[in-house]
């Protein structure tokens, strides 16, 4: 069966998941996590992509990224996946593929849905019972979005900047949003759209694109 074509629209955020093959670890140490984020930062700048959120889990990575031009996100993810895999194989004297097939990507329309996806990404360690507070997890964008001095990898999405009149107010508002109780149906919908790689947003926008 042919792969479904990706919806690749400039200026539209994409919720991305990149999984390791056979649920093998894709990070062996904090040094590896630092290297992955370095690659991501360098390549995002080169490909004119804005990173709004991320989390590095033991077996997979979630990203929220907005490309500025068609094709740039695919180039970013190809270079990131290949470059990090070469580094990982060299470091651990291994061969073979690191990642499970190609990454999955779900376009996210409407600012409300962007914030929901960003929250879902930063809550991943809490849901996996790795921490009791997302602020305790070092390898996500949560601390960069909630406490100074911030994270140089991140470019706030306009939905995040609309949370308050200044950075301090936005950080407080975001922290409150992430720590509130989340409807399980919202979480299920986000994960279903990502798995199927379907546009996530209001029905009227999905209907307009399908027309």
Query: Could you tell me the pLDDT band of residue 108, with boundaries at 50, 70 and 90?
Result: very high
Residue extents of the structural domains in the chain: 14-210
Average pLDDT, integer, range 15-33: 96
**Is 3.40.50.720 the CATH classification of the domain at 14-210?**
no
- Tokens 């042919």 identify what position? 2
Report the range of poorest mean pLDDT among 63-72, 96-105, 114-123, 156-165.
Answer: 96-105
Query: Could you tell me the pLDDT band of residue 203, with boundaries at 50, 70 and 90?
Result: low
Q: pLDDT tens digits, residue range 58-98?
A: 999 999 999 999 999 999 999 999 999 999 999 999 998 99
As a three-state string, the secondary structure of 13-51 is CEEEEEEEHHHCCCCCCHHHHHHHHHHHHHHHHHCCEEE
Query: Could you tell me the pLDDT band of residue 4, with boundaries at 50, 70 and 90?
Result: low
């Amino acid at each position: 069966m042919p792969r479904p074509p990706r919806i690749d629209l400039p200026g539209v955020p994409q919720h991305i998941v990149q999984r390791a093959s056979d649920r093998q670890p894709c990070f062996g140490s904090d040094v590896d996590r630092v290297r992955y984020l370095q690659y991501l930062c360098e390549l995002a700048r080169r490909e004119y992509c804005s990173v709004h959120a991320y989390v590095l889990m033991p077996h997979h990575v979630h990203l929220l990224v907005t490309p500025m031009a068609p094709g740039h996100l695919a180039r970013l993810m190809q270079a990131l996946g290949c470059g990090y895999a070469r580094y990982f194989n060299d470091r651990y004297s291994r061969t073979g593929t690191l990642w499970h097939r190609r990454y999955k990507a779900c376009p996210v329309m409407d600012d409300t849905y962007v914030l929901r996806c960003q929250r879902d990404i930063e809550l991943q360690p809490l849901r996996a019972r790795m921490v009791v507070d997302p602020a305790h997890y070092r390898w996500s964008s949560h601390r960069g979005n909630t406490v100074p001095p911030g994270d140089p990898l991140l470019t706030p999405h306009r939905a995040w900047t609309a949370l308050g009149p200044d950075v301090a107010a936005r950080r407080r508002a975001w922290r409150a949003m992430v720590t509130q109780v989340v409807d399980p149906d919202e979480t299920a919908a986000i994960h279903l759209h990502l798995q199927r790689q379907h546009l996530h947003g209001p029905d009227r926008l999905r209907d307009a694109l399908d027309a």
